Structure 1
Amino acid sequence: MSFLTLASIVAGIMFGIGAIAAVIRIIRGPSILDRALATDVLLAIAICALGAEMAVNKHTDTLVVLLVLAMFAVVGSISISRYMGKQDAS
């Protein structure tokens, strides 16, 4: 087994554990802000996993998917913060 294969397996396991932890926080989170943060973490894990897959397989086919995920993360965070800001002001 080569080093690249071993590193890919270890990275995949770490991404999987992080994604499971984020999903648990999305389900159990006591507040909407906990759920929003966990959603951002899950999107960041997905972006990193796709970037690692692109690096291992030496292609850029999923670069557009990375950009769309990053856009959703930013727009989602801004939307939730604006909603929570209006809710706190009331």
Structure 2
Amino acid sequence: MTVLDYVYVSTFTMLGLGVLFTLYRLVRGPSVLDRVVCLNAISVLVVSAIAVEVAVRGDTAYVGLMVTVALLGFVGTLTAARFAERRAHDRG
């Protein structure tokens, strides 16, 4: 194994640990907005993992998948924030 292989393995390990810790917070999150932020963080971590995989393989076939996952995460977070804003406005 080369040094670069060790870097890839350590990067995937750190991304995996990040997903596990974020999933823990997703389950324990006290509010809905905490869970939405966790889902956004997981989508960012998934896009990062796909980017590392693209770097490992040297193939750009997954770039469209990266853009799609990033856009879905962004739109989902934006929709939840708008919903929370309207809910807070209706209450207050």
Return the TM-score normalized by structure 2.
0.94
Q: Which runs of 5+ in 2 are unaligned?
A: none
In structure 1, how many angstroms separate the alpha carbons of the residues matched to 2:78 and 2:8?
33
Moved over 3 A (4+): none
Distance 1:65 1:26 in 2: 24
Identity of aligned residues (%): 24
Aligned residue pairs: how many? 90
Please list every run of 5 or more consecutive structure 1 residues that lacks an aligned counterpart in the other structure. none
CA RMSD in angstroms comes to 0.7
**Could you say which structure has the greater relative contact order, defined with CA pairs below 8 angstroms and 6 or more residues apart?**
2
Cα offsets for 1:32-65 (capped at 9, x unmatched): 1110111111000000010011011101111111
Alignment of 1:37-48 (within 5 A): 37-48=37-48
> Could you state the TM-score of these two structures normalised by the residue count of structure 1?
0.96
